[in-house]
Amino acid sequence: MSYSLNVNGQTFEVDVDGDTPLLWVVRDHLGMTGTKFGCGMAQCGACTVHIDGEASRSCVLPVSAAAGRQITTIEGLSSNAARAVQQAWVEVQAPQCGYCQSGQIMSASALLAKNSNPSDAEIESAMSGNICRCGTYSRIKAGIRRAADAINAGEVA
């Protein structure tokens, strides 16, 4: 079946079964591999994308449900919040193996787009679905705080 997908502001036609998770459409059919596979059951967050601005686990989102919506992957991040997060990630040297970090950055930027001054509890709740086996959590938290400060100080244009 053919689906029309809006990914990172571009329209793509894909011919796949409707139950194919968006993750595999993006990775295997569109060739965008920044979005990662970690569990396939909405447990780890490695596959996080934005659907109409909301952080969403693409490994359990059927392509049929993603059609017609604004899909943003790590390759298409461009919002202020996202750029602040990516900059902060460089500054705190968040990644170790890096495999979880696309998903972490997608979750963090969705959080900051809605709430540019999150409390620790709000950060933990927004990030609770993102596992990092390398244990970079403290740096991720520090990165989110730093990005929030940059946004609030108007340093991100």
Partner 1 sequence: MGKFQNNLQQHAPGRRQFLKLAGLGGAGLVIGLRLDPRAALAQQSGTPALSYNAFVSVTPDNQVRVLIKHLEMGQGIYTGLATCVAEEMDADWSQIVCEHAPADTEKYANLGMGLQATGGSTGMANSYQQMREAGAAARAMLVMAAAQHWNVPVADISVAAGVVRHGPHSATFGELAAAAAAQTAPAVDSLVLKNPSEFIYIGNPDLPRKDIGKNTGTALYTQDVQLPGMLTAVVAHSPRFGGKVRSFDASAALAVNGVQAVFEIDSGVAVVAQDYWTASKGREALKVEWDDSNAEMRGSKELAELYRSLLETSGTLAEKEGDAESVLSAAGEYLEASFEFPYLSHAPMEPMNCVAQINGNSAELWYGCQFQTIDQMVVAEMIGGRPEDVVINTLFAGGGFGRRANPFSDYIVETVNIAKQHPGIPVKLVWSREDDIRGGFYRPAFMHKLSASLGPDGKPQAFKARLVGQSIMEGTPLAEMSVVEGVDVSSVEGLVELAYHVPNRLVELHSPKVGVPVQWWRSVGNTHTAFSKEVFIDLLARNAGIDPVEYRLSLLEHNPKESAVLRLAAEKAGWGRDLPANTGQGVAVHSSFGSSVAEIVEVSVAGDRFKVERVVAVIDCGTVVNPDIVKAQVEGAVALGLSTALGDELTLTDGLVDQSNFHDYQVLRMSDMPEVEVYFVDSDLPPTGVGEPGTPAIAPAVANALAAITGKTYTRLPLKIG
Q: Is 1 in the site for partner 1 (CB under 8 A)?
A: no
Q: Is 132 in the site for ligand FES (CB under 6 A)?
A: yes
Restricting to residues 42-101, name those near ligand FES by CB under 6 A. Answer: 42-47, 57, 59, 95-101
- Binder of partner 1 out of 44, 47, 147, 156 (CB under 8 A): 44
CA distance between the termini of the chain: 41
Q: Residues 111-114: contacts with CB within 8 Å, 24+ apart?
A: 111/55, 111/144, 112/81, 112/84, 112/85, 112/144, 112/147, 112/148, 112/151, 113/53, 113/79, 113/81, 113/82
Distance separating alpha carbons of residues 41 and 13, to the nearest angstrom: 25
Q: Is 126 in the site for ligand FES (CB under 6 A)?
A: no
Q: Where on the phi/psi map is residue 98: left (φ > 0), alpha (ψ -120 to 50), or beta?
A: left
Site string for partner 1, 77-96 (x = CB under 8 A): ---------x--xx--xxxx
Q: In whole angstroms, how close is the CB of 59 to ligand FES at the nearest point? A: 3
Helix intervals (H) in 93-136 = 101-114, 120-127
Stretch that binds partner 1, among 3-11, 20-28, 64-72, 110-118 (CB under 8 A): 20-28
Query: Which listed option, partner 1, ligand FES, none, makes contact with residue 8 (CB within 5 to 8 Å by class)?
Result: none
- Report the amino acid identity of residue 73: T
Site of interaction with partner 1 (CB under 8 A): 16-17, 20-21, 24, 27-29, 31-41, 43-44, 46, 73-75, 86, 89-90, 93-102, 105, 123-124, 127-128, 130-141
